[in-house]
Structure 1
Amino acid sequence: MQLEEFLNNLLTQSGVSGYENNVASAVVEGFRGLYDEFRLDPLGNLILLKKGEGRGDEPRPRVMLAAHMDEIGFVITKVEDEGGLRFSNIGGIDPRVLPGQEVIVHGKRDLMGVIGSKPPHIQDHDEAKKAMKREDMFIDVGLTRAELEGLVSVGDTATIYREPIILKDEFLAAKALDDRAGVGVLFTCLEELSRMRHLADVYCVSTVQEEVGIRGAIVGTYSIVPDVGIAVDVCHADMPGVPEYDTVPMDKGPALGFGPHVHPRIYERLVKTAEDAGIPYQVDPSPYPGGTDAWGIQMAREGIPTALVSIPLRYMHTSVEMVCLRDIKRSGRLLARFISGLDKDFLEGLKCF
């Protein structure tokens, strides 16, 4: 399976935080032939293991690669008499992008719907000057309250509906690229490793519930106890109207995080690996490490040597998030070469921070 086909399938799956089962099934199928074992942990993390080439019974080093597979979405909070479904958000969503979005309501069966609100023609003067609040919006599936009885209940979830769009020059726009683009990096990495030799056992973890508190990474790391943990996520890409110091360019390679959550020796090895292999890369200063799985990995157990590799992405937390496929492929190649070059001396040195 090619990366483009894998991502197209993955990005059409619905999987808000806490409800990632469909996504996990698609990952297992898409990675088939690239791993030796897989399991789901009690929280729902999908853990794929590709074994290394250790000698005899000697313990093999463990490398954990983590990318979260959950997406932002909605939960139904009330069914109005007219049939409108009031909702709250799961994860961080800018309400200004919601009016007019197509959604899928996951009730007893999936129902297509749209997010509606009062049209500008009938808003009063003060309303017209302000952005619409989420509390003033509703999901309309075209049914009355009586018809919805038994189909949709308070507590059911909803996700944005959007087909991936292939743009020019290997650019891709879709919902949930934060962070299924990262899962695509893991896919590419294991494909590359299938043609390489490596000492370490590689645990590719599609984590859950990142968008509501980095929960999956904490639990997964506690279970695996890796010697090295690398989070793969997205960062803000260059776009009009945003200062350069807040973004990194697209199509210039992965952004390597550097900050208090990143072990300096892993960062240095990633840089050297990229330069030796001719893989373009960028530096992404990360003084506030709390927003990705890297924080969860670093803080597990007694502390895990951690790094962060990010894919530049435009329009984060919208239905048209955008990446360059070349950046995903470069990131996967970089991680594969980093893993294949690991030896015991390097790993031992990580203990001397």
Structure 2
Amino acid sequence: MEDLDLFKEICETHAPSGREDWLYSIIEDNFNQFGDITISKLNNMYIHKEGKTSRKLMIMSHADEIFLMVKEITKEGFIKFKGLGIDAKSLVAQEVIIHGKENVSGVVALKYDYSDKQKSKVSMENLYIETGFCTEKLRSLIKVGDYITLDRKMVGLLNDNVSCKSIDNRASIFAMYVCAEELKNVNPDLNVYFVCSCQEEVGHRGAKMASYEVKPDIGIALDVTFDGGTLGDSDRENKLGAGPVICIGPNIHTKIKNRIIQTADKYSIPYQIEVEPGNTGTDAWDIQTAEGGIPTLLISIPIKYMHTSVEVVNLKDIKNTGRLLARFIQELKEDELEGLFCF
């Protein structure tokens, strides 16, 4: 894939919830060719591509990644931590970065009690981080509350698959880049706002703020979903390499969903369908109910091993997600919006 180096860079960059700004210089350097860029007070980034009318379409991908935080530095020189959204079993023997006065490398270890196997079950309480520093040195570099992120370089796998940390949700940011590149020489009817939202992993906070700030006529959330193919980690039928996943359910506007499916069929872009009768657990949930109601879509990219350091994604799925969005935007006209919005 073209620009794979950019995808690698944004995945390997550390940007936990609340510190999305650590990623934004890279995004700004690469997205500034597509439109005007602003950053909100709480770390939403907006890239505005001007359209021919006053109507607005917002595409949102959250920029934050899962993380840990320093809870205690023990007298023995180990780091105890808290986490959110991470299965403790996936942390054993992983490399991490502690973001203190300096970035400090560490490894996660399990405190094993050979006399009591019950006490040796993998849990956050039984895990600690070893850095190699003595207590005094460690406390001069790190304090309680410092962020900890997984440390992993991207690995190329067979069949156009890659593995890395933070593919949730940097794959969606890269899909926005593909979309913006496809639209570079297109003057769409609608103003397009590409949004890198903050703090999705801790409550979709950026989605709420962006929806009220942009006030879009249509909102599209981009995120990842669970692959259900061979060795998948759920019973869903979302397979790597089979295209973007279009969600159907109460969170999704029916006519606009039908329209993007028609676009995919017209341009022979592969896609999959995911049925979600309840909360999608994504920014789409918050976009839909903002500003008196915003017609909303959710497009997902299937991945394996979500919320681990070895998430796996298919590069063709990312490219096809960007292509589908670009064709949808290119063909959308202002004079058909009211008809689309009416049930």
Q: Same fold (TM over 0.5)?
A: yes
What does 1:322-341 align with in structure 2 at a 5 Å threshold? Answer: 322-341=312-331
1:270-293, CA deviations, whole angstroms, 9 ceiling, x for partnerless residues?
000000001011111112224101
Q: Counterpart in 2 of 1:247? A: 237
1:226-270, CA deviations, whole angstroms, 9 ceiling, x for partnerless residues?
011000111111244659852311111110000011000110000
- Match of residue 115, structure 2, among 107, 115, 124: 124
Query: In structure 2, what residue type is equivalent to 1:26?
Result: I
Q: Are 1:213 and 2:206 counterparts?
A: no
Q: Counterpart in 2 of 1:343? A: 333
Q: What is the alpha-carbon distance in structure 1 between the residues aligned to residue 231 and residue 178 of structure 2?
A: 33
Q: Secondary structure at the match of 1:294?
A: helix
Q: Counterpart in 2 of 1:83? A: 77
Q: Counterpart in 1 of 2:179? A: 189
Q: Counterpart in 1 of 2:259? A: 269
Contact 2:233 2:305 in 1 (8 A): no
Query: In structure 2, what residue type is equivalent to 1:13?
Result: T
Report the alpha carbon displacement of residue 139 of structure 1 after superposing the two structures with TM: 1.1
Q: Counterpart in 2 of 1:38? A: 37
Root-mean-square deviation (CA, aligned residues, Å) is: 1.7
Q: What is the alpha-carbon distance in structure 1 between the residues aligned to residue 74 and residue 125 of structure 2?
A: 13
Q: Secondary structure at the match of 2:305?
A: coil
Q: Counterpart in 2 of 1:321? A: 311
Q: Are 1:113 and 2:106 counterparts?
A: yes
Q: Are 1:97 and 2:96 counterparts?
A: no
Contact 1:96 1:131 in 2 (8 A): no
Q: What is the alpha-carbon distance in structure 1 between the residues aligned to residue 234 and residue 68 of structure 2?
A: 32
Query: In structure 2, what residue type is equivalent to 1:99?
Result: V
Q: Counterpart in 2 of 1:62? A: 56
Q: Are 1:5 and 2:9 counterparts?
A: no
Q: Counterpart in 2 of 1:25? A: 25
Q: Secondary structure at the match of 2:325?
A: helix
Work out the percentage of aligned pairs sharing the same amino acid: 37
Q: What is the alpha-carbon distance in structure 1 between the residues aligned to residue 105 and residue 183 of structure 2?
A: 41
Report the alpha carbon displacement of residue 319 of structure 1 after superposing the two structures with TM: 0.5
Q: Are 1:139 and 2:129 counterparts?
A: yes
Contact 1:235 1:247 in 2 (8 A): no
1:43-67, CA deviations, whole angstroms, 9 ceiling, x for partnerless residues?
1011111111x2xxxx421110000
Contact 2:162 2:315 in 1 (8 A): yes
Report the alpha carbon displacement of residue 126 of structure 1 after superposing the two structures with TM: 2.6
Q: Secondary structure at the match of 1:211?
A: coil
Q: What is the alpha-carbon distance in structure 2 between the residues aligned to residue 300 and residue 266 of structure 1?
A: 17
Q: Secondary structure at the match of 1:233?
A: strand
Q: What is the alpha-carbon distance in structure 2 between the residues aligned to residue 243 and residue 174 of structure 1?
A: 17
Contact 1:3 1:184 in 2 (8 A): no
Contact 2:233 2:304 in 1 (8 A): no
Query: In structure 1, what residue type is equivalent to 2:60?
Result: A
Q: Are 1:203 and 2:196 counterparts?
A: no
What does 1:156-195 align with in structure 2 at a 5 Å threshold? Answer: 156-195=146-185
Q: What is the alpha-carbon distance in structure 2 between the residues aligned to residue 253 and residue 127 of structure 1?
A: 44
Q: What is the alpha-carbon distance in structure 1 between the residues aligned to residue 114 and residue 172 of structure 2?
A: 42
TM-score, normalising length: structure 1: 0.93
Q: What is the alpha-carbon distance in structure 2 between the residues aligned to residue 164 and residue 242 of structure 1?
A: 20
Q: What is the alpha-carbon distance in structure 1 between the residues aligned to residue 146 and residue 140 of structure 2?
A: 12
1:95-124, CA deviations, whole angstroms, 9 ceiling, x for partnerless residues?
0111111000000010111111225xx523
Q: Which runs of 5+ in 2 are unaligned?
A: none
Q: Which runs of 5+ in 1 are unaligned?
A: none
Q: Counterpart in 1 of 2:295? A: 305
Contact 1:66 1:206 in 2 (8 A): yes
TM-score, normalising length: structure 2: 0.96
Q: Secondary structure at the match of 1:93?
A: coil
Query: In structure 1, what residue type is equivalent to 2:99?
Result: H
